[in-house]
Chain A
Amino acid sequence: MTCAEVQLLLSEYIEKSLDTVRMKAVETHLLSCGGCHAETEGLMDCIRQISELPLLDPPIGFTQRVMAHVRDIESRPAGWRRVLAPFRIGPPIQATALVLVAIVAVFLYQKESQIRGNPASPAVPSILPSRSLSDDHSAGKPEQPVASAQRRADTPRQANSTANTVRSPMRESRKTASAAAVADQSKPKTPSSPDPEANSAGDVKNPLSRRGPIQAQEIGTGMEGLRSSSDSFGFGPTIGGSLRPGFFLPERSLSPVTEPSADAEFVVRRRDAQTRDPNSSVRSESARQSAESDIAPAVAKQSLASPPSQSPSINVREIRWFAVPADQYNQFRKDLASEASIDSEKTIGASERDFALQSNRELLIKVIIVSPAER
């Protein structure tokens, strides 16, 4: 046996795990070979050193600690909670944090748009036509009262129709809704309403209904949602009576996240006073002018006073949301076209409209009103 062969067997020789023939052979070699003998002694020393290492006791309470963790694992639901466990934060805290962050984000977004919107407000009248769109609910109504006092007396009727529309639930059939609207319109304009609820609603909305919706003061007030429906955008009673005030969403509250998707979208341009309202009768025109004589000249003066170049509000856009019954969509579009020039429109598809008609759904229409000066 060579030294190399013996060296390979030394470990087993020391452990006496070799067969007797090889045990004898190694033993014989070791007696005659000093090198291999020293090697064997070194290995035996090594094994002894390891085997004589004392066994230490585990730390006191080791088992209890392990079992505490084991019971913790057992009581913990599997899955994502286990992933969160190292952070030692319960999911409710994280959810709360998330909600807080979302609230702060929305708040900041609204704040920012308010800051951007407010400086524009004072100067807006300069770009507005002297005739506000608000006067136009006189358009289809030759018997429109002349004095502002009379107009004020007329408001409960508007509120009444508004209240009727509001009270009719969404799922109510389209026919009923439009019938109610028609009934409201055909109702003689008695200043007093039999419905006390409607009266109170009218009282609340009364001051707001006096304002023209596109008057500059309103951009940035956030009160659009409270505006009387028949008064907004100055549509005649056909559309105005069926518009639901609840759908007049103040544009400022619409962050990109919360903005609903519109069924149709119009970009309209305000017309100059001279070109607007071709349908208005002479009578209503004169009535309007006398009714608004207290407002219009002031606006016109402002308009003359401030040159457009200095107006920071030149690019102010106003966004209006309308909820229109599907069967009145064409009428809405026609009235819109008579009120303002439609720059561009993204109308609802025929099939979508048919579906809306069948399902009694109201169409959500977004109208972006740009000033005549805006490119």
Chain B
Amino acid sequence: MDRSNQTKEMVADGISDAECVRRVQRGETDAFETLVRRHEKTIFNLVYRMLGDTEEAAEVSQEVFLSAFRAAGQFRGDANFSTWLYRIAINHASTRRKTLNSRQRKVVPIESADSLHDPQPGPLEILEQQEIREKVQVALNQLEPDDAAVILLRDLQDVSYNEVAHVLEIPVGTVKSRLHRARQALKSRLKSYFSAERKAV
């Protein structure tokens, strides 16, 4: 998986996130573009998985970056920029989730783009994988936003326990117990599907 390598790529082009932030703080707005390009995919996917809707995700992700820009002066560099950005993203996504839940929540179909990322799947496999992903997405959206966030950070984004602890501003021990609780909640929601799958096999 390439997602864990993203941070290393960022430093590869010579300027670290911290340096970019310092330039933004000095008024070099173009440096912020570098930060957006580096983190847009991570943030967009995190938000998308928390909301289950690409349009909502695009809108919220944009808000995340704009909030980060407005608050760039407050970034002191004692944490990773990505950690800071994750925190903003989770806050925004959680708020949007509550708004969406308070309305009549529409059933969001998972777009077919999901299947295009896998190498050479047969037509039957595409259907099956798509079905599983839809179930997973629905299950994720049924979790508490905090539980979904901890699962996505750890299992989707491959963020270390320490960084998750920084993002959520909770101790590492709490991260572990919350992650365990969240995974079990997700598992019980997917249980019926998996057992049906096993019976079919």
* A residues with CB within 8 A of B: 8, 10-12, 17, 42-43, 45-47, 49-51, 53-59, 62-63, 65-67, 69-71, 73-74
Main secondary structure of the interface of A (DSSP, over half): helix
Q: Mark B119-161, 1 if CB is under 8 A from A, else 0.
A: 0000000000000110011001000000000011001101001
Contacts of A65 in B (CB 8 A): 62
Is the pair A47, B58 in contact by a Cβ cutoff of 8 Å? Answer: no
Is the pair A70, B58 in contact by a Cβ cutoff of 8 Å? Answer: no
Chain B residue at smallest Cβ distance from A63: B36
Chain B residue at smallest Cβ distance from A12: B176
Is the pair B176, A50 in contact by a Cβ cutoff of 8 Å? Answer: no
Contacts of B187 in A (CB 8 A): 42-43, 45-46
Chain B: how many interface residues by the 8 Å CB criterion?
49
Is the pair B48, A63 in contact by a Cβ cutoff of 8 Å? Answer: no
Main secondary structure of the interface of B (DSSP, over half): helix
Docked pose: A17 CA to B173 CA in angstroms = 13
B66 contacts A by Cβ under 8 Å: yes
B70 contacts A by Cβ under 8 Å: yes
Closest chain-A Cβ to B91's Cβ sits at a distance in Å of: 18
Closest chain-B Cβ to A92's Cβ sits at a distance in Å of: 26
* B residues with CB within 8 A of A: 1, 3, 29, 32-33, 36-37, 40-41, 44-45, 48-49, 54, 58, 61-62, 65-66, 69-70, 113-118, 132-133, 136-137, 140, 151-152, 155-156, 158, 161, 176-177, 179-180, 183-184, 186-187, 190-191, 194
- Interface contacts beyond A54-B118, A59-B58: sample of 7 additional A-B pairs, CB < 8 Å, sorted by A: A42-B191, A45-B190, A51-B1, A53-B137, A69-B66, A70-B69, A73-B70
Is the pair A73, B69 in contact by a Cβ cutoff of 8 Å? Answer: yes
Known A42-B194, A43-B183, A43-B187: A58·B65 in contact at CB below 8 Å = no
Is the pair B66, A70 in contact by a Cβ cutoff of 8 Å? Answer: yes
Docked pose: A278 CA to B126 CA in angstroms = 115
Contact of B32 among A11, A51, A70 (CB under 8 A): A70
Known A63-B33, A70-B69: A49·B136 in contact at CB below 8 Å = yes
Contacts of A57 in B (CB 8 A): 41, 44
Docked pose: A58 CA to B118 CA in angstroms = 18
8 contacts between A and B (CB under 8 A): A8-B177, A43-B183, A43-B184, A50-B155, A53-B156, A55-B45, A56-B54, A67-B32
Known A12-B176, A54-B114: A69·B62 in contact at CB below 8 Å = yes
Contact of B155 among A47, A56, A70 (CB under 8 A): A47
